[in-house]
Amino acid sequence: MKIRLSLLTLLAIACLLIGNALPAWADILYENGPINGETDAWTINFGFLVSDSFTISTGNSTVSGLSFGAWLFPGDVLESSEVILSQYEAGGGTVYFDGDVNFTQSNCFLNNYSYDVCTETGSFTPVNLGNGTYWLTLESAVVNNGDPVYWDENNGVGCHSPGCPSDAGNGGIGTLPSESFSILGTPGTGTVPEPSALPLFASGVVAVAGTLRRKWR
């Protein structure tokens, strides 16, 4: 029984290591604090846009996703939004990415204003950004029935990344308190294990397990 449990433990470790070979966009490169959900939010469709600054401080990093807090009418599901990564606010200067991104909705709760407040997570074609300050812009958001979509305002409270809290604005019309979001990707410091190495290590664990099994038959 003890040997069988040991084998199961080794196999579980192997599976866990393989499972931890996360997609490239799973690491947080910058975060502007958690969702507030109870203060305010800003429209990111019907011709409106919101921009927030973010700082890369992990060396030459690969940016390939983001998550943010959205306010929605109850029952609405965010399908996509135009995402722009650029040198300046509202897509100004050099544009590093500009495209429609599909989002997955999770962790929704009903706030005191009767909106669903949800975490929206999406990935996109990776872009490489070195250390510096950039801007994230969200606009042209689409929900299942055409309702408004709002980006949760948190003013950067609770953020921990270098450069936070973010600066924010709505397309040069004026400044805003900043919003809740995280920039996701692979840091340039190489802290993420090489995915190709993990299955190799796991296969070694499985081989050891097989040897022990044969030994104790």
Q: Looking at the structure, do residues 33 and 44 belong to the same domain, yes or no? A: yes
pLDDT at position 26: 62
Q: Looking at the structure, do residues 85 and 152 belong to the same domain, yes or no? A: yes
Percent of the chain whose pLDDT exceeds 90:
73
**Which CA distances in Å does 165 have to 70, 133, 161, 201?**
18, 12, 8, 40
Q: Looking at the structure, do residues 87 and 172 belong to the same domain, yes or no? A: yes
State how far the Cα of 12 lies from the Cα of 18, in Å rounded to an integer: 10
Q: Which residues does 98 contact at the CB level (< 8 Å), separation at least 6?
A: 82, 83, 84, 85, 86, 91
Query: Quick one: pLDDT band at residue 173, thresholds 50, 70, 90?
Result: confident
| Spatial contact of 171 and 51, defined as CB atoms under 8 Å apart | yes
Q: What is the pLDDT of residues 40-63, one digit of tens each?
A: 999 999 999 999 999 999 999 999
Burial of 161 (0-12, 13-18, 19+ CB in 10 A): buried
Q: Looking at the structure, do residues 111 and 210 belong to the same domain, yes or no? A: no
Give the closest residue to 52 by CA, choosing from 135, 129, 128, 138: 135
Q: What is the pLDDT of residues 59-83, one digit of tens each?
A: 999 999 999 999 999 999 999 999 9
Query: Quick one: pLDDT band at residue 171, thresholds 50, 70, 90?
Result: confident
Q: Looking at the structure, do residues 206 and 145 belong to the same domain, yes or no? A: no
State how far the Cα of 191 lies from the Cα of 16, in Å rounded to an integer: 18
**Is a pLDDT exceeding 90 seen at residue 187?**
yes
Q: Which residues does 134 contact at the CB level (< 8 Å), separation at least 6?
A: 53, 54, 55, 56, 85, 86, 87, 96
Give the closest residue to 181 by CA, choosing from 28, 27, 24: 28
Average pLDDT taken over every residue of the chain:
82
Percent of the chain whose pLDDT exceeds 70:
74
Upstream peptide bond of 126 is cis (omega within 30 degrees of 0): no
Q: Looking at the structure, do residues 176 and 211 belong to the same domain, yes or no? A: no
pLDDT at position 98: 98
* Counted domains in the chain: 2
pLDDT at position 174: 82
Query: Quick one: pLDDT band at residue 88, thresholds 50, 70, 90?
Result: very high
pLDDT at position 55: 98
User: Reduced to 3 states, what is the DSSP secondary structure of residue 9?
Assistant: helix
**Is a pLDDT exceeding 50 seen at residue 175?**
yes
Q: Looking at the structure, do residues 102 and 5 belong to the same domain, yes or no? A: no
Q: Looking at the structure, do residues 112 and 13 belong to the same domain, yes or no? A: no
pLDDT at position 81: 98
**Is a pLDDT exceeding 90 seen at residue 172?**
no
Query: Quick one: pLDDT band at residue 2, thresholds 50, 70, 90?
Result: very low
Q: Looking at the structure, do residues 16 and 120 belong to the same domain, yes or no? A: no
Q: Looking at the structure, do residues 88 and 177 belong to the same domain, yes or no? A: yes
Q: What is the pLDDT of residues 25-34, one digit of tens each?
A: 469 999 999 9
Which amino acid would we find at residue 137? T
Residue 151 domain boundaries: 23-192
Q: Looking at the structure, do residues 100 and 187 belong to the same domain, yes or no? A: yes
Q: Looking at the structure, do residues 105 and 147 belong to the same domain, yes or no? A: yes
User: Reduced to 3 states, what is the DSSP secondary structure of residue 215?
Assistant: helix
